[in-house]
């Protein structure tokens, strides 16, 4: 074996020992709260990818879309009839087009009432609250009851919440937080939003 090969092997063995040690230390088994935030593209699609991963193991999932965007999206078409997925869109829906605040608040509260129920139901393994963070930003919902419900949810239940900005109390209760950074987006180069990519 050459010198450099030997050095390489030593370095890799050291790395493996470190990784093995870390794996041995992470022994707790429980569900987690994952937040995906930031201005870049990829939050909702990543959360849905994680849901697909859970579905692969036969886990029961639910999605609540707190902001109703388009009438239909590719993900909704794909997942809504899946036997293990409950897909909910918030009421008639808060959209960027509605201008009726009291109607939006009522819809947000209805969606939260449903979310709260799911957070008490241990039949659900995976919950996605898509774009929920806007509800706190616009003060349609209070964050404290959400934090309490997250804290007292079933032990193995995993929850993902997406949205560009995330309320601080949610960040405190979360286990994993990833920020998707907007380095570049085709929209700013004048590329039209396309099915299968944007919706």
In the complex, least distance from residue 33 CB atom to Mg ion, rounded to whole angstroms: 17
Nearer to Mg ion among residue 80 and residue 148 (C-beta):
80
In the complex, least distance from residue 103 CB atom to ligand ATP, rounded to whole angstroms: 22
**Residues ≥6 apart with Cβ < 8 Å to 130:** 44, 47, 63, 64, 65, 66, 67, 162
Nearer to ligand ATP among residue 157 and residue 162 (C-beta):
162
User: Which one of the spans 41-49, 61-69, 72-80, 82-90 is the region binding Mg ion (CB under 5 A)?
Assistant: 41-49
In the complex, least distance from residue 45 CB atom to Mg ion, rounded to whole angstroms: 8
Does residue 44 bind Mg ion (CB under 5 A)? yes
Output the CA angle 102-103-104, nearest 5 degrees: 90
**Residue 35 structure tokens:** 């937040």
In the complex, the residues that contact ligand ATP under the rule CB under 6 A are 39-45, 131, 162, 164, 180, 182, 185, 187, 193, 198-199
Residue count of the chain: 199
Coil, helix or strand for 145?
helix
**Residues ≥6 apart with Cβ < 8 Å to 111:** 64, 66, 88, 90, 91, 135
State the binding partner of 41 from Mg ion, ligand ATP, none, CB within 5 to 8 A by kind.
ligand ATP
Residue 35 φ/ψ, nearest 5 degrees: -110, 135
User: Which one of the spans 12-20, 38-46, 145-153, 177-185 is the region binding Mg ion (CB under 5 A)?
Assistant: 38-46
State the binding partner of 193 from Mg ion, ligand ATP, none, CB within 5 to 8 A by kind.
ligand ATP
Nearer to ligand ATP among residue 22 and residue 188 (C-beta):
188
State the binding partner of 117 from Mg ion, ligand ATP, none, CB within 5 to 8 A by kind.
none
Give which of 108, 160, 179 is closest to 137, Cα–Cα: 108
């Amino acid at each position: 074996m050459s010198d450099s090969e030997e050095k390489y092997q030593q370095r890799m063995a050291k790395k493996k020992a470190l990784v093995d040690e870390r794996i041995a230390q992470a022994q707790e088994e429980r569900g987690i709260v994952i937040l995906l935030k930031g201005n870049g593209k990829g939050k909702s699609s990543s959360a849905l990818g994680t849901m697909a991963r859970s579905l692969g193991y036969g886990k029961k999932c639910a999605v609540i879309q707190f902001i109703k965007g388009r009438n239909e999206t590719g993900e909704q078409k794909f997942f809504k009839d899946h036997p293990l997925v409950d897909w909910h869109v918030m009421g008639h829906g808060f959209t960027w087009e509605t201008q009726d605040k009291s109607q939006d608040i009522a819809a947000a509260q209805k969606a939260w009432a449903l979310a709260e129920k799911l957070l008490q139901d241990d039949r659900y393994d995976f919950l996605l609250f898509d774009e929920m963070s806007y509800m706190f930003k616009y003060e349609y919902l209070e964050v404290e009851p959400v934090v309490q419900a997250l804290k007292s949810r079933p032990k193995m239940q995993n929850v993902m919440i997406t949205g560009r900005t995330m309320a601080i109390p949610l960040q405190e209760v979360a286990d994993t937080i990833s920020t998707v950074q907007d380095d570049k987006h085709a929209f700013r180069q004048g590329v039209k939003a396309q099915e299968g990519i944007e919706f």
